[in-house]
Structure 1
Amino acid sequence: MAAVLPDQPARPENARQRPFSRKPVRWLLLALIIAIAAFFGFRYWADSRAYASTENAYVNTDRAEIAALVSGPVLKIHAAENQVVKAGQPLFDIDPRSYEVALEKARAQLQLATQSVSQQNAAIAAAEAQVAQREAELRNAQANFQRTERLKKQGFLSEQGGEAAATQVATATATLHAAQANLEQARSALGQTGSDNANVQVAQAAIEQAELDLKRTHVAAPADGVVTNMNLRPGEIVQPGVPLFVVVNNDHYWVDANFKETETQQIRPGEQASVEVDMYPGKTFHGVVESLSSGSGTAFSLLPPQNATGNWVKVTQRVPVRVRITDPDPRYPLRVGTTASVKVSLRSGESATSGR
């Protein structure tokens, strides 16, 4: 009697084909990965030839350090920290009273100088009259001397009478010379007349300086911007030339991008650039290359590196490139010193060069 075998479970039809069906999928995935890698590799290679990029970049703008031009106590402050100001808007005032007094004193000095000129003019007029009188006396003495000489020849006058007439001529001549010397001295003391007089000009210059100092007690914003680092307090004594705070320009920004020295040979002024500021992810600003520095960043540092020792190691230097932002957006206000990424289009420079 034949043995009856137990029922075997049904085997799937594709059981034998499963090991073979995975190979095409693997090859397809591998080919896809290679294609993607090749695509991005080619794109990176093409971008490296068409663009120069760096993440070593910082936002910058014009900054005006505000300092007093005259000394004195601060009377009133018109601006606050981070306040937006316009050109000519008042920032602070210095107590003007001492400068008002100085102006009045300078005006009084001008009056004194004018009076002195008038007195000297009167002295000159008196000296001129004295000279005219002495000239008349000399003419009379000379005429008398001539008469005595004729009378002496005719025997009507003695020798003593002739000598007396000669003495009168000599005396009148000496007196005239003294009067002329006094006139020259008076004219020299006066110098130029009217507004051309030196003393009057000195007094007038003192008035102008006093007016300028008084005007400088009122300090205004030199340009549009934002007040920053404001630590000024009413009553504080300020000195000329000492920075008190800063007004940062808020409508003209650029980026100082530090490119490797091996990348700057293809960067030219006028090339287009894109700027991404780290504080605004996803926002791209447009810009244009304005200039390239004439040296590396370390060359102009306070203490440039000295590479004369034997343990010198060559390090690729960075050259600052200024990229002006052409489309600032009020919705994305930029901040000085914030970091950015810059990409410069080298092709735009080639087209601009060929167009010229």
Structure 2
Amino acid sequence: MTSPSDTTQPQGNPARKKALTAVAAVVVAAGLGYGAYWALVLNHFETTDNAYVQGNLVQVTPQVAGTVVAINANDNDRVKAGQWLVRLDPTDAKIALEQAEAQLAQTVREVRTLYANNRTQTAQIALREADLARVQSDLVRLQDDVNRRQPLVASGAVGQEEFKHATAQLAAAKSSAEAARAGVSAAREQLASNQSLTEGITVDQNPNVLRAAARVREAYVSLKRVELQAPVEGYVARRNVQLGQRLQAGAPLLSVIALDQVWVDANFKESQLKNLRIGQPVDLTADVYGSKVVYHGVIEGLGAGTGAAFALLPAQNATGNWIKVVQRVPVRVRLDAKELVDHPLRLGLSMEARVDVSKTDGRMLADAAAAPVSVQTEVFEQDNREADARVQQLIAQHGGVARAVVSQSKASKAGAPSVAMVASH
């Protein structure tokens, strides 16, 4: 038998110890690797999945009241800028335009009469001045006759009756001269009064003509506005107008969305704004396409307030119990137009945004007003040009010989020749 002192203590399990050491080494290596990856990669990016596609929702509303007689677009249709979408009954607008044009024609002719009266008054002044000269000549002759006869009355060479007759003729000549002078003065005052209505202006610049021309422009534009045109190119959405519907000015009929001009509002936490700057590159993925399609954008601006600050019912943190909630600030991201053509987006789609914040030398807020945005329309300018051309045509037609001047630059811009009528007086 062996004694207890001869028994040896059991040695530790070398395999287990080796396995634990390996696991610890792996954990340490993973921690060091993740730390290195965070320091070299993750530390240079800010991400959020609270990002959504936004765009301009252009509402089409009537500018004049009327009844719908035709509809030329439906939901999801692609329309071009200037294409008519809804047409209203034009009867009332046509009648108003005809009345305004008739009033303008009458006003032009009345103003032309004022200019013609100037020439008539000038001729009247010349005629009255000629009469005054004749009367003054007779007055001088009669005065000489009286002066010659007066010394001869005392000697009896000239009778009293003859002298009185000569004196009476002289008095009548003086009255005629005064009347002629008054006639000349009245004619000059009449000319001055008439010239005050025409001096320094042409027929088309007369206030009465301008007032009538403004009514024609208003009526013409109102007639053109019975056709509601698409302000921008895009897709029709939310059409809620029907045939026969009576519309008032400003009633929303449908919307046009320009899907080639959308952007992304990425809502970052306030703790993530520290390193965000305008101009930093952004990689985005949309749920509709998955991670295979990556959009490349640029931060265009950081919101001036949190979403809660502009909410319809903002939070009242000074009432009751309070729990801090991390706020988010919308960051606007401009997308690449070519990528939108290849993979179009829709308003409201969810996206994930990943911002490279390695460069923090940019601005957090814009320091100057941005350049004019490309969101503009010239659809309604064509109506104004046509109204001006119509007014000038009417003025020339009723005001004298007209000369047509065609501007090639304006014609190429408007798509049709722009004719300006210049009236000669």
Please, what TM-score do these two structures have when normalized by structure 1? 0.81
Higher relative contact order (CA 8 A, sep 6+): 1
Deviates more, 1:189-198 or 1:72-81: 189-198
Deviations along 1:207-263, one digit per CA (max 9) or x if unpaired, are: 333322222222222222111111111122223333322111111221111223333
Partners of 1:349 and 1:95 in 2: CA distance: 59
Confirm or deny: 8 A CA contact 2:44 2:358 kept in the other structure. Answer: yes
1:95-244 to 2 correspondence within 5 Å? 95-155=89-149, 157-158=163-164, 159-189=167-197, 192-244=201-253
Which residue among 80, 85, 88 is the counterpart of 1:91?
Answer: 85
SS in 1 for 2:258: strand
Confirm or deny: 8 A CA contact 2:282 2:297 kept in the other structure. Answer: yes
The answer to whether the aligner puts 1:290 opposite 2:304 as a matched pair is no
Q: How many residue pairs get matched?
A: 337
1:122 Cα deviation from its structure 2 partner? 4.1
Partners of 2:11 and 2:222 in 1: CA distance: 100
The answer to whether the aligner puts 1:72 opposite 2:66 as a matched pair is yes
- Runs of 5+ in structure 1 lacking a partner? 1-15, 352-356
Which residue among 336, 339, 359 is the counterpart of 1:328?
Answer: 339
Deviations along 1:19-39, one digit per CA (max 9) or x if unpaired, are: 653443344334434433553
Partners of 1:18 and 1:334 in 2: CA distance: 65
Partners of 1:17 and 1:174 in 2: CA distance: 148
Partners of 1:286 and 1:307 in 2: CA distance: 38
1:190 Cα deviation from its structure 2 partner? 5.1
Deviations along 1:136-171, one digit per CA (max 9) or x if unpaired, are: 222222222222222222225444443332222222
Partners of 1:93 and 1:252 in 2: CA distance: 27
SS in 1 for 2:348: coil
Partners of 1:339 and 1:173 in 2: CA distance: 93
The answer to whether the aligner puts 1:345 opposite 2:394 as a matched pair is no
CA distance 1:261–1:213, change in 2 (3 Å): same
Partner of 1:10: none
- Runs of 5+ in structure 2 lacking a partner? 1-9, 151-162, 363-425
Partners of 2:11 and 2:323 in 1: CA distance: 62
Confirm or deny: 8 A CA contact 1:289 1:324 kept in the other structure. Answer: yes
Partners of 1:18 and 1:311 in 2: CA distance: 59
Please, what TM-score do these two structures have when normalized by structure 2? 0.69
Confirm or deny: 8 A CA contact 1:251 1:328 kept in the other structure. Answer: no
Partners of 2:128 and 2:322 in 1: CA distance: 94
SS in 2 for 1:251: helix
Deviates more, 1:40-49 or 1:138-147: 40-49
Partners of 1:46 and 1:233 in 2: CA distance: 60
